[in-house]
Amino acid sequence: MARKDDIFKSFLNHELLTTKYELQDSDIPATVREALNSQNPIIKAIALIVEGLDGTTPVTDKVLRDQVTQFLNEAI
């Protein structure tokens, strides 16, 4: 498993997220790549952040913030 997949899993296994969004282990994709195709907005948003910060071509904070904001605005 890639480092970014481990980081992604650690975010989604946090008690706050599992409680607030009622995430089950079966809901959580195994990789960031799978999570980017998720229908669950919180899963996809976290995947975007992890991919942006730890992907093959990291992006700046401003670009990442704009991507996540745009995604969340469209997902609503």
pLDDT in tens, the chain (76 residues): 689 999 999 999 999 988 999 988 888 999 999 999 999 999 999 999 999 988 778 789 999 999 999 999 998 7
- What's phi and psi for 53, nearest 5 deg? -90, -30
Please check whether residue 40 is in contact with residue 25, taking contact to mean a CB–CB distance below 8 angstroms: no
DSSP-derived letter for residue 26 is G
Which pair of structure tokens corresponds to residue 49?
Answer: 């952040």
pLDDT for 58: 76
Read off the pTM.
0.88
Distance CA 2, CA 32 (A): 9
Taking the CA atoms of residue 67, residue 71, residue 72 and residue 76 in that order, the dihedral angle to the nearest 10 degrees is 160
Predicted confidence at residue 38, as pLDDT, reads 93
Amino acid at 10: S
